[in-house]
Structure 1
Amino acid sequence: MTQPPHDEPTAETPEELREQVEHTRAELGQTVEALAAKTDVKARAQEKAAEVKQQAAAKAGELKAKAAQTAVQVQEKIPGPVKGKAVQAAGQVREKVAQAGHVWEEKAPASVRDKTAQGAQAARDNRGLLLTAAGVAVVVWLACRRKG
């Protein structure tokens, strides 16, 4: 048998000895659990993946907010006459799109129309993201135009 550590008193009664044994077993069990957790690569990888996913979602939220802010700033800098022309052009585009839609419904195969409808639904579901991307594209276009 080994000698007890110098900092721990020896048991004087069988009851104290049992308590020391139970305490030592509990500590040993905790140590084994900690070692097992460190060697569980799959669980650690899953924890890390969840952490990275959470960080990515937070960063995406920050970027989305920043892009929306930039789009607002760009809209504020656009002169009134340009905005009026843009609204007029948008109305004309809507008319042309409606006309093209009627032609599409008459001539496109059903399977192609179904896939297109799914894509259109995805675009409607992500409208904010698409508008933000369009705003960023306008900012980039204006910046390139001014440099050139």
Structure 2
Amino acid sequence: MTDQQAAGSPDQLREQVEQTRHELGQTVQALADKTDIKARAQQKAAELRGQAASKAGEFKTRAAQDAALLQERLPGPVKDRAAQAAGQARAAAVQAGRIWQEKAPASLQRTAAQSVRLARANRTVLLVVAAGVTLVWLARHRKKG
């Protein structure tokens, strides 16, 4: 058997070289992907955003279910008092807003306006957190009572 027969035909050698090049290319790309910190961070951030959105949706659904259950269990007089208190709170908020406009410095009003815009932009997260805090408070209050 000659050296050329042992190594294979020229076509087989070319095919082996192409396969080896392909594998080497994949290995180099895998190493490049591992060293690309920015891309990995962006990928992880996107993954975490997806998880956070999923959890927020779960919390929102749970909060809505709990709120509906709580509404069903509240007696009529309590609902009436809550509605009355809400009306009084709205009236007090309007009055506080008037006083704020008259007496607060302009720089403080601008800062507060920016905070309001930020809160409105992240309304879902704030509502989920508020609902969670409320549910925890209710659970602890029930255990004590």
Q: 1:53 aligns with which of 49, 73, 94?
A: 49
Aligned length: 140
The structural deviation recorded for 1:10 is 0.9
- Contact kept? 1:71, 1:136, Cα under 8 Å: no
Larger Rg: 1
- Contact kept? 1:74, 1:139, Cα under 8 Å: no
SS class of match (2:109)? helix
CA RMSD of aligned residues (A): 3.1
Structure 1 residue aligned with 2:74: 78
Distance 2:132 2:20 in 1: 63
Which 5+ residue runs of structure 2 have no aligned equivalent?
none
Q: 1:70 to 1:41 in 2, by over 3 A?
A: same
- The CA deviation string for residues 16-46 of structure 1, in whole angstroms up to 9 with x for no partner, is 5444433433333333333x24642514444
- Contact kept? 2:63, 2:128, Cα under 8 Å: yes
Q: 1:1-148 maps to which residues of 2 (within 5 A)?
A: 10-11=8-9, 14-34=10-30, 36-37=31-32, 39-40=34-35, 42=37, 43-146=39-142, 147-148=144-145
Higher mean C-alpha deviation, range 20-29 or range 57-66:
20-29
Identity of aligned residues (%): 55
TM-score normalised according to structure 1 size: 0.70
Q: 1:30 to 1:67 in 2, by over 3 A?
A: same
The structural deviation recorded for 1:103 is 1.6
* Counterpart AA for 2:96: A
- The CA deviation string for residues 91-144 of structure 1, in whole angstroms up to 9 with x for no partner, is 112112212221221111111122222333344445555555554454444444
Which 5+ residue runs of structure 1 have no aligned equivalent?
none
